[in-house]
Chain A
C-alpha cells in the first residue's frame, strides 16, 4: 500500500495530481487490479512470517517430534545439526526466504523429497476434487437459488431450503459416513477408498472420487444457494423491480434479466469463498475417503514440524485464497459499473 501515500499527501498539500493519480484516473480498472496484486504479494509475505512463527510456537521441534517416543539425545542432536535447527530463528527464516525467492522451496526434512514436486502432485489432486465438486455445485446452487426465488414461500422454496439446510447442518464427516454406509457398505456401487494414483487416467480418477465429490457438493451447496436467494430477494424489493413487475414482465424474465445481474456481486463473492474452501479446507473429507490431497499432506507435515513442507503448503494455500478473492473482487467491480470509479 506504499504507493497510496504519495497520492494522499499530494492531494492534501497541492492541487496538482501526482503521476500515480494520473495513472489511476487514466486506467481505473488496471490500476485497481495492480494495487490488488501488490497487496496480494504483501499478504503472502505476511502469511509466510505468520506460519513460520506459528510452527516455532508449537512445542517441540522437528528432531524431537519426528523421532517421537524413539528419540535419544544423540539422534536428536544428529538430526538438529543436519537441518540447522540449532541456528537462530531469524537466520533460518531469511535463509528460507532467500531460497524461495530463487524459486527453491527446498526438500522435505522428513522424506528428503523436493517440496515443489510433491506439492505439484498433491495440488493437482486437490484441484481435480475441487474442480469436479465446483462444476456440479456452483450451477446447481445458483439454479436452485433462482428457483427458490421464483417459487418464493411456496412448497418448492421450502423444500429446497429444508434439504440444503439439513445438508449444511450435518458435519462433513457425518455426511461422508452416511454416503459410505449407503453406497459402499449396504449397496456397493461406488469405489472406496477414493484414493487416486498417478497411473490412473482422468476418467478413472473421476469415477473413483464420486463419493467425496458428492459429499463436498452437499456441504457447500446450501451456503451458495441461500446467498443467491437472499441477494436476489434483496434486489427484488427495489423500486425498479416493482416497475418491471407493473410493466407486466414475467417473473422468470424479471429475475434473470433485471434482478440477477444486480445481485451478481455478493453471489460471486460467496462462490469464491466456497471455491477456496473446496481447495484448502477439505482435510476431513480427504481423511475419511483416503484422498491424497493438499490438506492431508500439510497436516502430516505439521505433526512432525516439517517446516519446508508446511511453509510451501501455507504459501500455496494463501496464494489460492488471495487469488480467488481478488478474482471475485475484480469480477464484482466489472459487474457493477458504479464500483469502477471510486470517489
Chain B
C-alpha cells in the first residue's frame, strides 16, 4: 500500500486510475496470498508488557478530567483509556456491541429500554460497578443544568431508573438508536457518576490514571483487575501533548514516541519513506464543508445554492488539498461509514456550464462573500481559493475574507451566512441529521428548514424495521443534497503514523485514534 501511495504522488494519477491500481493490488494480494502468507496484524498474537508513549496534539493546560468537557484529541483518548461506556461499537460496521452493558431490549415503540449490566466489574479503587453508577453517570450528563457536552445528545431522556437490577431508560419519543447514542465518548461511566467529583477519573477502563498534568503529560498504569482480557496489553501508557506538528514528527522519527496523530497530507508521503515508520490513513465520518444559511439573502434562493454546489471541483480538492487522503462528498453529511447509508444517489460533479445555467436562473448579480480560516479545517484557505477559481469558470464571483482562527467557532461559524466549516462524525445518521439539519437544532448551521424532513427524521428514529429506515434515510439525504445550504465536497481521512514497534492498530470507522481506544488496543513488539 505504501508503494501505491508514493506512485500517486509522483505520477499524479486521477482518482479513477487510483481505484484501478488499488483494485489491482487487492487482486495481486489475494492471488499471492495463497503462496506467501502475508503479514497480517490481526493474525499476530499480541505481546504483553512495555511502556507505550503516544504524542498527541490538541491538548491544553485548560483541560480537565471531567469527561463532559472533552473536546481535543488528547482528552478524547484519555477518556477511553481510564473509562468504559455502557455500549461500544464494531470497528468495521459501526454496530452497537456490549461493553459494561451485556445486553439490552426495547419496547415495541423503542421508547422504554432495559439494559442488563455486567456484574463482574470493579472500579479502579476496588469498589464494584453497580447499576446506580451507570444511572448516576447518565443523570449527571443529562441534567438540565449540566454543562456536559453530551447534554444535547441526552435531551430525549424522560427517566433513568433502576428496576430489578437492570438500568431502565424511558424516552420522550421512540429512538431505535439509543444504544449507539450511549457510545458517545463523553459518557464514560464513573463511580457514582462523578457526582462526588467529576474529575476523579475513577472508571473501569484498561488503565488506571497515575498522573495528570493537563496539556503536558498524562500517565497510566495497567488495571490488573480489568474485566476484559482482550485489551490493555502494555504495562503503562504515557500521553505526551505535543501540539507543534514538526515537534510531533521529530518525536516519532527519533523513536521518543510510538505514535503521533494529525499529520498533514503533505507530510504523509515523506514520512512513509522513513524505514521505522508506518503512516496510517483511516476512513472517517468527518467532512470539510462550505455552509450557506438558507434563509439569508442571497442564499435563500435554491438556484443560487445549486449553482454553487455545481461550481466546486471536488476531485481537484480531494487531490490537492487532501493529497488524495479522503473520499468525495455528495452534499449530504453521511458516507458509507454510517450504518444504513444510502448507496445509489448519483455523485454530484463539477459542471461549470450547469452551474452558470443555475446562476443565471437565480438572477443573482455581484460578488458573494465567503468567510474562511485555517481554524475551519486543515487547508481551508487553499480549499476556498480553489473553490473561488472553480466558480469563476462558471461566471460566479466569490470573494474571500480570511478570518482569524482564534474564536472562529464562536464568532464566524453559525453566525455568518457563508463560511467554511468542519464537522466530525456522529454515531448514527439520526444523530448526524439531528445535530445540524433538524430545523430546531441550535447547530443547524445552514438554517435548513423542511417540515417534511423533520417529520421523516422522527419517524426514522422510532422505526425498528431496518429496510424502512434505510429508505427513509435515502429520501432525507436527497432532500439535504438538493435543497439545503450544505456544500460538502470531501470527507477527510484521519492521518496518523506509528513506529513499527507499535502494533495492534485497528482502523475504526467510529472516530480517530482507533475510535479513542488506541491505548487499549495497541501492543509493543519486544
The answer to whether A47 has its CB under 8 Å from any CB of chain B is: no
Say whether, besides A67-B149, A74-B151, A289 and B240 are in contact (CB < 8 Å): no
CB distance from A323 to the nearest CB of B (A): 25
Chain B residues with CB under 8 A of A197: 211, 213, 216-217
The answer to whether A306 has its CB under 8 Å from any CB of chain B is: yes
Bound complex: CA A306 to CA B250 (Å): 31
Which of these binds chain B: A23-31, A35-43, A95-103, A108-116? A108-116
Query: Is there contact, CB below 8 Å, between A69 and B243?
Result: no
Query: Chain A contact residues: over half helix, strand or loop, or mixed?
Result: helix
Contact residues, A170-203 vs B (CB, 8 A): 177, 180-181, 184-185, 188, 192-193, 195, 197-198
Say whether, besides A78-B145, A306-B62, A177 and B246 are in contact (CB < 8 Å): yes
Size of the B side of the interface (Cβ < 8 Å), in residues, is: 43
B144, closest chain A residue (CB): A74
The answer to whether B281 has its CB under 8 Å from any CB of chain A is: no
Bound complex: CA A58 to CA B411 (Å): 10
Bound complex: CA A237 to CA B243 (Å): 51
The answer to whether A68 has its CB under 8 Å from any CB of chain B is: yes
Chain A residues with CB under 8 A of B240: 193, 195, 290
Say whether, besides A78-B146, A181-B250, A195-B216, A59 and B411 are in contact (CB < 8 Å): yes
Contact residues, A22-78 vs B (CB, 8 A): 58-60, 64-75, 78
Query: Is there contact, CB below 8 Å, between B410 and A185?
Result: no
The answer to whether A117 has its CB under 8 Å from any CB of chain B is: no
Size of the A side of the interface (Cβ < 8 Å), in residues, is: 47
The answer to whether A138 has its CB under 8 Å from any CB of chain B is: no
Bound complex: CA A37 to CA B215 (Å): 36
The answer to whether B368 has its CB under 8 Å from any CB of chain A is: no
The answer to whether A21 has its CB under 8 Å from any CB of chain B is: no
Say whether, besides A78-B145, A185-B253, A300-B215, A71 and B410 are in contact (CB < 8 Å): yes
The answer to whether B407 has its CB under 8 Å from any CB of chain A is: yes
Chain A residues with CB under 8 A of B243: 287, 290
Query: Is there contact, CB below 8 Å, between A290 and B60?
Result: no
The answer to whether A301 has its CB under 8 Å from any CB of chain B is: yes
Bound complex: CA A232 to CA B64 (Å): 53
Query: Chain B contact residues: over half helix, strand or loop, or mixed?
Result: loop
Chain A-chain B contacts (Cβ-Cβ < 8 Å), number? 118
Query: Is there contact, CB below 8 Å, between B62 and A75?
Result: no
Chain A residues with CB under 8 A of B55: 193
The answer to whether B385 has its CB under 8 Å from any CB of chain A is: no
The answer to whether B442 has its CB under 8 Å from any CB of chain A is: yes
Other-chain contact of B61, A82, A181, A185, A301 (Cβ < 8 Å):
A301
Contact residues, B201-255 vs A (CB, 8 A): 211, 213-217, 240-244, 246-247, 250-251, 253-255
Chain B residues with CB under 8 A of A277: none
Query: Is there contact, CB below 8 Å, between B147 and A300?
Result: no
Q: Which of B62, B253, B255, B413 has the most CB of A within 10 A?
A: B62
Query: Is there contact, CB below 8 Å, between B254 and A185?
Result: yes
Chain A residues with CB under 8 A of B242: 193, 290
A64, closest chain B residue (CB): B410
The answer to whether B71 has its CB under 8 Å from any CB of chain A is: yes
CB distance from B526 to the nearest CB of A (A): 21
7 closest Cβ pairs, A-B complex: A110-B62, A60-B410, A64-B410, A59-B411, A300-B61, A60-B407, A69-B409
Seen from chain A, the residues whose Cβ lies within 8 Å of a Cβ on chain B are 58-60, 64-75, 78-79, 82, 108, 110-112, 118, 177, 180-181, 184-185, 188, 192-193, 195, 197-198, 287-290, 292, 296-297, 300-301, 303-304, 306, 309
Seen from chain B, the residues whose Cβ lies within 8 Å of a Cβ on chain A are 55, 60-64, 71, 144-149, 151-152, 199, 211, 213-217, 240-244, 246-247, 250-251, 253-256, 406-407, 409-411, 413, 442-443
18 contacts between A and B (CB under 8 A): A71-B410, A74-B151, A75-B147, A75-B148, A79-B147, A111-B62, A184-B250, A184-B256, A192-B254, A195-B216, A195-B240, A197-B217, A198-B213, A290-B242, A290-B247, A292-B61, A296-B61, A300-B61
17 further A-B contacts with Cβ under 8 Å, apart from A71-B409, A112-B199, are: A59-B410, A65-B409, A68-B409, A79-B147, A177-B250, A180-B246, A184-B254, A185-B253, A192-B251, A193-B55, A193-B251, A197-B217, A292-B216, A297-B61, A300-B61, A301-B61, A301-B62
